[in-house]
């Protein structure tokens, strides 16, 4: 009797069921923040080694803190080169998010960076990933290529002309549309809601939906998330750790007077 393959990477299992994964980007180098995000019910976390003050030691602690929880640890790196992805993967990350993917060559480099030879150019050295995954070193190496996610961030106007070629690359798993850098590249820095940015995002969205690549995006409000899920998004970032903290504090103090209104003059 043949046993069906069970993905270790929970995100692959969610997508196989046509469900949307919800996550957050972590920029604060904190195990405690990771634990709270896991307890809140998120599906994935993107540990930000591109813009956040997070080094390898902090990333390792944050990845390890997801063990025993449903939270899938992903890492965002600063460039699409294999050596940027090597350390996060060896620390146990279940996927690597590469920035500014605008050409087929960029996407091919991203895929090669997370796969062992002969499929890619990932170097050997998984000392800490196997225990995070609950596998022996040999089993980890046998399964890593099928489990680790190659993730592209589509965030520059140059990708508008090449997006069909990008998402046709074999082995590319997920493509996030990054509204911040997309707006900047279009001359509307800090204005992702600008009609030009929204139109560009719509073109990228349609192309990714036509492909086999999972469509990802950013949805800080529940209404926006529901609309995007209806349009085919299957991975949504609901906020950064710092923005979620700010929003929580703002909600806690909203409407609370700084002075006792019943106090007589």
- Kindly list the catalytic residues: 51
CB 126 within 8 A of CB 148: no
What 3-state class would DSSP assign to 204? helix
Is it true that the peptide bond before 118 is cis, omega within 30 degrees of 0? yes
Please check whether residue 88 is in contact with residue 126, taking contact to mean a CB–CB distance below 8 angstroms. Answer: no
SS3 224: helix
Only one residue has tokens 């080094």, namely 55
Selection from 116, 48, 59 nearest residue 82 by Cα: 116
SS3 50: coil
Query: CA 130 to CA 149: how far, in whole Å?
Result: 16
């Amino acid at each position: 009797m043949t046993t069906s393959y069970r993905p270790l990477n929970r995100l692959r299992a969610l997508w196989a069921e046509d469900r949307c994964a919800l996550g957050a980007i972590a920029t604060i180098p904190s195990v405690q923040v990771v634990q709270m995000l896991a307890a809140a019910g998120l599906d994935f976390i993107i540990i930000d080694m591109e813009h956040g003050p997070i080094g390898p030691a902090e990333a390792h602690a944050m990845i390890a803190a997801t063990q025993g929880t449903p939270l899938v640890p992903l890492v965002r790196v600063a460039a699409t080169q294999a050596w940027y992805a090597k350390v996060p993967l060896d620390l146990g990350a279940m996927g690597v998010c590469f920035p500014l993917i605008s050409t087929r060559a960029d996407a091919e480099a991203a895929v090669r960076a997370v796969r062992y030879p002969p499929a890619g150019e990932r170097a050997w050295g998984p000392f800490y990933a196997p225990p995070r995954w609950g596998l022996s070193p040999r089993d980890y190496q046998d399964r890593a290529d099928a489990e680790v996610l190659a993730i592209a961030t589509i965030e520059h106007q140059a990708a508008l002309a090449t997006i069909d070629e990008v998402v046709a690359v074999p082995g590319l798993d997920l493509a996030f549309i990054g509204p911040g850098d997309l707006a900047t590249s279009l001359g509307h820095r800090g204005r992702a809601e600008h009609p030009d940015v929204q139109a560009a995002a719509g073109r990228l969205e349609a192309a990714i939906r036509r492909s086999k690549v999972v469509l990802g995006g950013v949805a800080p409000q529940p209404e926006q998330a529901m609309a995007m899920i209806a349009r085919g998004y299957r991975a949504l970032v609901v906020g950064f750790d710092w923005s979620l903290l700010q929003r929580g504090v703002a909600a806690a103090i909203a409407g609370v007077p700084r002075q006792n209104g019943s106090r007589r003059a």
